[in-house]
A = this chain, B = another copy of it.
Amino acid sequence: MAGLVLEGIIAYPVTPFAPGEAGGVDTAALTTLVDRLIDAGCHAIAPLGSTGESAYLDDQEWYTTAEAALAAVARRVPAVVGVADLTTRNAVRRARFAEQAGADAVMVLPQSYWKLDEREVVRHFTAVADAVSVPVMIYNNPATSGIDLSPELMVSLVGQVENITMVKESSGDVQRMHRLAQLTDGELPFYNGSNPLALEAFAAGAAGWCTAAPCLIPGPVLALHRAVRDGDLDAAREVFYRQLPVLEFILRGGLPTTVKAGLALLGLDAGTPRRPLLPLDEPGTARLAELLAATA
């Protein structure tokens, strides 16, 4: 799949856990969720993203999740596996595992404890990309990773390393997307990872929207993409504002927390997020129920 170009709605499932604080990955629930997302029409599936609590899993849990998700996707749509690790060593190991398990691409987030300089970022991405043959999507998410990748740096990586071919921008700043388009004459496919920017990112030319929202409201999410694809700005605006309260709510409360609460409301028990993350409290759950009812 060297020529893989993702387009449309890239859906991020949560990683369901069995009950109890020690509960492991619930692969049956994950399979059900993946099926729902594909049945709803999502264009790609991305397990082990920020929503998938990738950073909170131990190695064995991570492998289990990757295998189960890829088996559930079963090549019906492209699968992009998230690799977010503090050390290059682990990132390489997980990326290799993902490829061998059938991932069509890996999405790499350079987490940081000590700040990384550009040289260190380049070496990290190069090491991971060199370790696999599938395409690599650079994932910029300063709010969770603690490191902010400039458009210039990301475009430079795309130019230097053959299988780094896509960028996911989650800074929430549409000017970054403008810059990516300008630096590459519109040739680099970029993806929006900031839910409340979905309308504007598409307006700015994003190839896709990376989002956990289809776990809860697949209809409106896909309708926004259709309206944009059809060039119908008024319809896109209408369906965007309709779903915006849900998009804002799930982001503000933390995606694993809120999406798991929403899935329970919709009848799919995905367990609770990993401590120190706590389940959504009662008032929050009641509010989410209202928002889902008003949106669907």
Give me the interface of A with B, judged by CB distance under 8 Å. Answer: 21-22, 50, 55-56, 84, 86-89, 110-111, 113-116, 119-121, 123-124, 127, 143-144, 146, 172, 174-175, 178, 181-182, 186, 196-197, 199-200, 203-205, 228, 231-234, 236-237, 241, 244-245, 254-257, 273-278
Contacts of A254 in B (CB 8 A): 114-115
CA distance A231 to B124 in the complex (A): 43
Q: Which residues of B contact A197 (CB under 8 A)?
A: 174-175
- Given A86-B55, A231-B233, A233-B233: A114 and B174 interface contact (C-beta under 8 Å): no
- Determine if B114 and A50 form an interchain contact, defined as CB atoms under 8 angstroms apart: yes
Chain B min CB distance to A173 (Å): 9
Q: Is the CB of A278 within 8 A of B123?
A: yes
Q: When chains A and B are docked, how far (Å) is the Cα of A145 from the Cα of B244?
A: 30
Complex: A123 Cα to B205 Cα, angstroms: 43
Q: What's the number of copies of this chain in the assembled complex?
A: 4
Residues of B within 8 A of A114 (CB): 50, 144, 254-257, 273, 277
CB-defined A-B contacts under 8 Å, sample of 22: A21-B89, A50-B114, A55-B86, A56-B87, A87-B274, A88-B275, A111-B113, A113-B144, A114-B255, A114-B273, A114-B277, A119-B278, A123-B275, A123-B278, A124-B275, A172-B175, A199-B203, A199-B204, A200-B203, A228-B233, A231-B233, A232-B233
Residue of B143, B203, B257, B276 near A88 (CB, 8 A) is B276
Residue among B115, B172, B178, B234 making CB contact with A244, cutoff 8 Å: B178
